[in-house]
Structure 1
Amino acid sequence: MSTIRFDQVSLQFPGAARPAVDRCSCEIASGKLVVILGPSGCGKTTLLKMVNRLYEPTAGQISIDGQDIRQLQVTRLRQQIGYVIQQSGLFPHMTVAQNIAVVPKLLGWPRAKIQARIDELLTLVELSPQEYRNRYPAQLSGGQQQRIGLARALAGDPQIMLMDEPFGAIDAITRTTLQDEILRLQRQLQKTILFVSHDVEEALRLADYLLIMQKGQIIQYDTPFHVLTKPASEFVYNLVGADDMVRQLGLLRVETAMMALPPDYSQNGTPTVDRSESLRHALSLILKTGASRLTVLDNGAPIGELTLEHIRDSASLASA
């Protein structure tokens, strides 16, 4: 697990009128998926690329688990961070297996371990090792290439993943499928993920936290639920479409809005809902059963609750 901390980080490119990133401070908690959201030119990708030192800040400090990343050798730092870009970035002259093996080879893994890891990762991204390991990128669809790009980024088992609009060039149906894959993998692997997006619906579906940027600055850093119900500014309100709470309920996961179980908690036949279901599904279940609250489950174990009043109050806040 790895925590990323930005402390008054700025980057001003030579000749630029203003900083691309301007005094940004926040902490990315270990194991969380944080989506950096904002309009074009707001500094999203610049902030992301400073984590693996593709860009160096002109002021401030970035640390991983308390260590200033400038104290780490660049090559060693990048080997510990998975990186996924929009066009997959696969080497066209290499097979799928050879692409996935790049980082493990750099890390000096033995051949048998590398081959086992290739098959493990292809299975993880739901592509048959027997069918795909010897194909070349040109023989894959766009969605398949992105799955291989994800597998390659995971190959060295990094604790941090940087994803720069990885699904931006994919058709809508495939994009939704890949978003589901990210959520599935994140529940299984619990990586610390920074994910750049300009798509609000994608951000709301994926994020544990939203980091919203405008003109190089962090405007709000909070859960999607709180961003929708308590936007920090008119800019944030308009960006996330906080006035359309009914539509947004279909994008937010139950776990982003649930409350802690009370000390006197007792299920007593209370309807249940999985943490990964949408708030719209939860609301439908409440209305269908007539229950005042739902017990939220994770692998069958109670982890929280959701009440009709909580959803109603939140919708009222958003439309106020």
Structure 2
Amino acid sequence: MSAIRFDNVLLRFPSMARAAVDHVSCEVESGNLVVILGPSGCGKTTLLKMVNRLYEPTAGTIYLGDTDIRQLPKTRLRQQIGYVIQQSGLFPHMTVAQNIAVVPRLLGWANPRIQARIDELLDLVALPPGEYRDRYPAQLSGGQQQRVGLARALAGDPQVMLMDEPFGAIDAITRATLQDEILRLQRQLKKTILFVSHDVEEALRLGDRILIMKAGQIVQYDTPFNILTKPTNEFVHDLVGADDMVRQLSLLRVSTAMTRLPDGYALNGHNGHPTIAREDSLRDALSLILRTGAPKLTVLEDGSPVGTLTLEHIRDSASVGARG
């Protein structure tokens, strides 16, 4: 089921010679994390901001589920959508708890429910409530502020999240940690996420699918694996560095190349094969195969087998991109 659908969406600002978003049509499936990627000025943030009606399209329609978003009052629409921006956007005069409580209060939740939700979310983003509830944003590091911003966006339990370069102003080490947190939360919560990024490695690491834009148009909308191994044109090829095989293996998740087990299929234990998590990299998988000499790996999700991976799978994922 599509959670978000863009139907021939156009946005033209009066001062611009070309459209900021130029007849975009695509669907974002429920529970997917889709990264919108492209160079500065390509329209990625503009496209994102149309989903919560910060910008209104000149033409075309955006659907949330089966509903044209223009049929919803803006306030009601935005209460259904979590929004995370680059600088966290926390209210400086409010405590962490008060920041997280903003949307639940607007939704009219009872105070005991709000307080329980605050504690639940702080635990979820690995900020112990007893230590962080009463702090102010100025008393937090940049990474901690972004965790609180994420908790606030999740507070009303929205099914859709919009994230506009949320880690763009954070150092590389903290950024990698927060990316790990997003992957962990997404496995747990299964939200539908539109995530704007200009960072190719971030997009390849996080995205179930990647939407690449140039000059307001979609150039390719596909899985990270297909974008690296089957770039649609020279622009995409150069943008993602499709010739760099070692980099491909480091960035692609095992899940992109594995053979999925049929529904209802049960392995006898792990059939004696070494195991690897579906979110680990293909480089990790290659290292494990070479170290153990195993012909096949069993891929796990939450401790249960979901697929298998062979050296041939890994070789194919690297060699296809090299052939271009």
TM-score normalized with structure 2 length? 0.96
Measured in 1, the distance between the counterparts of 2:266 and 2:31 equals 27
Query: Which residue does the alignment assign to 1:178?
Result: 178
**1:221 corresponds to which letter in structure 2?**
Y
Task: Confirm whether residue 246 of structure 1 aligns to residue 249 of structure 2.
Answer: no
TM-fit CA distance, 1:257: 2.0
- The runs of at least 4 consecutive aligned structure 1 residues that moved more than 6 Å come to 262-265
Q: CA RMSD in A?
A: 1.5
Measured in 1, the distance between the counterparts of 2:178 and 2:291 equals 31
Task: Confirm whether residue 306 of structure 1 aligns to residue 309 of structure 2.
Answer: yes
Query: Which residue does the alignment assign to 1:191?
Result: 191
**2:3 corresponds to which letter in structure 1?**
T
Report percent identity of matched pairs. Answer: 77
TM-score normalized with structure 1 length? 0.97
Measured in 2, the distance between the counterparts of 1:162 and 1:245 equals 31
Query: Which residue does the alignment assign to 1:28?
Result: 28
Query: Which residue does the alignment assign to 1:143?
Result: 143
TM-fit CA distance, 1:2: 6.5
Query: Which residue does the alignment assign to 2:94?
Result: 94
Give the secondary structure class of the aligned counterpart of 2:13.
coil
Structure 1 runs not aligned, ≥5 long: none
Give the secondary structure class of the aligned counterpart of 2:109.
coil
Query: Which residue does the alignment assign to 2:109?
Result: 109
Measured in 1, the distance between the counterparts of 2:305 and 2:313 equals 18
Measured in 2, the distance between the counterparts of 1:41 and 1:294 equals 43
TM-fit CA distance, 1:299: 1.7
TM-fit CA distance, 1:249: 1.0
Between 169-178 and 293-302, the greater mean CA deviation after superposition: 293-302
Question: How many positions carry a matched residue from both structures?
Answer: 320
TM-fit CA distance, 1:10: 1.0
**1:60 corresponds to which letter in structure 2?**
G
Give the secondary structure class of the aligned counterpart of 1:174.
helix
TM-fit CA distance, 1:273: 1.2
Measured in 1, the distance between the counterparts of 2:258 and 2:72 equals 39
TM-fit CA distance, 1:202: 0.9
Measured in 1, the distance between the counterparts of 2:156 and 2:266 equals 42
Measured in 2, the distance between the counterparts of 1:256 and 1:3 equals 22
Structure 2 runs not aligned, ≥5 long: none
Query: Which residue does the alignment assign to 1:270?
Result: 273
Query: Which residue does the alignment assign to 1:84?
Result: 84
**2:283 corresponds to which letter in structure 1?**
R
Measured in 2, the distance between the counterparts of 1:64 and 1:38 equals 24
